[in-house]
Amino acid sequence: MMIVRLAFQSLLNRWVTALLTVLAIAVSVMLLLGVEKVRTGARESFADTISGTDLIVGARSGSLNLLLYSVFRIGNATNNVTWKSYQDIAKMPEVAWIVPLSLGDSHHGFRVLGTNQDYFTHYKFRHGQTMTFASGGPFKDLFDAVIGSDVAEQLGYKVGDKIIVAHGVGSISFYKHEDKPFRVSGILAKTGTPIDRTVHVSLEAIEAIHIDWRNGVPNPDQSVSADEVRKMDLTPRAITAAMVGLKSKLSTFRVQRRINDYPEEPLSAIMPGVALQELWGLIGTAETALSVVSAMVVATALLGMVTMILTTLNERRREMAILRSVGATPATVLGLLAAEGGLLTLAGVVFGTVGLYAGLYLARPFIDHTYGLSLPIDPPRAEEWLKLGAIVIAGFLAGLLPAVRAYRLSLADGMMVRI
Amino acid sequence: MAKATISALASLAILVALPVLAEEHRQLGPHVHGQGTLDIAVEGNKIEMELVAPGMDIVGFEHVATNDAQKAAVENAKAKLADVLNVFKLPAAANCKTETANVESRKETHQPGEKDDDDKPGEPEHSEFHATYTITCESPENVTGMETAYFTDFSGGQLLNVNVTTSKGQTQAQMTREKPTLDLTGVM
């Protein structure tokens, strides 16, 4: 105990360098724990995005691709699904509900999703929660739109506002559906999923705004006004994907196989939970790389600490000599410096951990808001405690390095003071 | 003019004829030696499982069993696979029993026109074992995992891709020769 007190007093005497060392270790510990938090947070956010959907059906493609574009609005579809196939799937006896999804247009960089009323009741997230409306309600009129909370907030929309949908998905679009503006009929409550960044309209509306278009551009000779279009047949020809709910989980694989073997059109049916697992397998390597990098940073910080103690060793020959003169054995000197390393690291670990949680607490609303990532504030798990303990032990062991040197020096130059 | 009409007619004829030619529906699933698929669906106290494994993994050959030893090997494998609760062991606390077990060995027909060294085109090439099971459990909540004897029973198997769907969610996992267990705590 005496040694620890001595080490502490000695550090206090050199508080600036000591503080900087502690800071370096604290930052590295924050990084190490932070990476883990972001990793679990990201996984949970992804996994929470879709729940209760048994199958997602789209054109034949890889399961990850289909999952990413249909649920996360990342990337684009390889092909569309014809309306006939959609109806065939809807008619399967095992299917309890089916919700069509039609993507391809945008509004100020936010994706526009064509779907039907069932979307709002059947799409579930975060362990079975359904969407709720912050204001307004689902679309009733052909040109009604329901917007996600981020869309409303960032563009300052409220119920009743008119919006114009742009063709294509870029944030700057050359073609806009200006002749057929939409009215915001409802704003959804925040979900923390890609829904927040989506403008929802009816499938018929998607068809209506494209009805007088040819080859991806408006056809000036055949302009159809918003009123005229209401009288036309607006049955969609194709959709991008569909979410399917089944009456019984037992039929999941059967229905999946039947859709994958559907002879009239090459389709893919994927299980969203299974595709997500595939995604983790893919991201796993990057996650390991991140953990390795943060471990390296901790090692660098410890190395910095050893350097700090070693460089001060020369200046502290007087200190050591005085200690020896009052009866400290060389072993005490060894213990003193090892304790110094341990103390510095322990302080770094404590500050780092506290700092991380303080930072998490402060930055959480911001991160949730900007990145849609809800980071968990839970106590460190066993694995993390183990890591923290390992760092303290590593720090103590690293402190032994200068300690051994001091031990040898104190034997050699004992009481001699060279000036 | 007449020439144009004839050529238009000719191209029309081709267009009409094409769908007829394309009517044959061709598609083949993947077939990877060493890898099988196990699908597990759980609802209430009912568990349905389906195993698809290449013949190579199960009996070590994929052609039609010709001699007695090969025929016996296929029958033996079928019998082993039919005893599902021995191949895929569920926790005893769940109190499960097999309702139905159906095992068959299917051939995938090789597409004509594709080159193959051993077999003549059109001959059966890859064979697969398909097994479907229905199991009922008295306390399905205790089905928190599974241990498989698949890899000890069948020396060719290296990996089983397991897809699981339950009312709590879906997941995917792998069972391998090194790790012949499955953790289901997250979805049960």
Please list the pLDDT of chain B residue by residue as tens digits (188 residues): 455 555 555 555 554 444 444 556 777 777 888 899 999 999 999 999 999 999 889 988 888 888 888 889 999 999 999 999 999 999 999 999 999 999 988 776 544 444 444 444 444 567 889 999 999 999 998 999 999 999 999 988 999 999 999 988 899 999 999 999 999 887 88
Please report, in angstroms and rounded to a whole number, the separation of the first and last CA atoms in chain A.
Answer: 33
Under an 8 A CB cutoff, do A253 and B46 touch?
Answer: no
Q: What is the structure's pLDDT at B19? A: 47
**Please, is A399 exposed, middle or buried when counting C-beta atoms within 10 Å of its C-beta (0-12, 13-18, 19+)?**
buried
Under an 8 A CB cutoff, do A250 and B172 touch?
Answer: no
A and B: number of Cβ contacts within 8 A: 44
For residue A250, list chain B residues with Cβ-Cβ distance below 8 A: 41-43, 46, 48
As a whole number of angstroms, the distance between CA B20 and CA B16 comes to 8
DSSP letter string, B92-144? GGG-EEEEEEEEEEEEEEPPTT---SSSPTTSEEEEEEEEEEEEEES-GGG--
A254-to-A203, A269, B68, B140 alpha-carbon distances in Å: 28, 11, 35, 22
Please tell me which of the candidates B25, B163, B169 has its beta carbon nearest to residue A51.
B169
Q: What is the structure's pLDDT at A283? A: 84
| β-pair partners for A416 | none
Q: Is B163 on the interface with A (CB under 8 A)?
A: yes
State the number of CA atoms in the 13 A half-sphere of A318 facing the CB.
Answer: 4
Under an 8 A CB cutoff, do A54 and B165 touch?
Answer: yes
Q: List pLDDT tens digits, range B74-85.
A: 999 999 999 999
For residue B39, list chain A residues with Cβ-Cβ distance below 8 A: 253
**Closest approach of chain A CAs to the CA of B138, in angstroms?**
17
Q: Where are the alpha helices (DSSP H) in chain B?
A: 2-21, 55-58, 68-82, 84-87, 150-153
As a whole number of angstroms, the distance between CA A260 and CA A61 comes to 10
Give the type of residue at A322.
I
As a whole number of angstroms, the distance between CA A44 and CA A322 comes to 58
Contacts of A173 (CB under 8 A, 6+ apart): A106, A166, A167
Q: Are A246 and A255 in contact (CB under 8 A)?
A: yes
Which A residues 18-47 touch B at CB under 8 Å? Answer: none
As a whole number of angstroms, the distance between CA B148 and CA B112 comes to 38
Please tell me which of the candidates A261, A273, A278 has its beta carbon nearest to residue B169.
A273
A304-to-A18, A161, A297, A345 alpha-carbon distances in Å: 11, 59, 10, 11
Q: What is the structure's pLDDT at B116? A: 42
A185-to-A16, A145, A189, B46 alpha-carbon distances in Å: 61, 6, 13, 44
Q: Which of B133, B170, B175 to mutate to test the interface with A (most CBs of A within 10 A)?
A: B170
pTM of full prediction above 0.80: no
Chain A residue with CA closest to B28: the answer is A261
Q: Is B50 on the interface with A (CB under 8 A)?
A: yes
**Per residue in B85-119, is it b (16+ CB within 10 Å) or e — as a string?**
eebbbbbeebebeeeebebebeebebeeeeeeeee
Contacts of A131 (CB under 8 A, 6+ apart): A120, A123, A125, A188, A189, A191, A195
- Along chain A (419 residues), what's the average pLDDT of each consecutive run of 10 residues? 80 86 91 86 83 92 91 86 94 94 88 92 86 90 91 91 80 70 91 89 88 67 73 86 94 93 92 90 86 89 87 78 80 83 91 93 82 78 89 89 80 57
Q: What is the structure's pLDDT at A88? A: 94
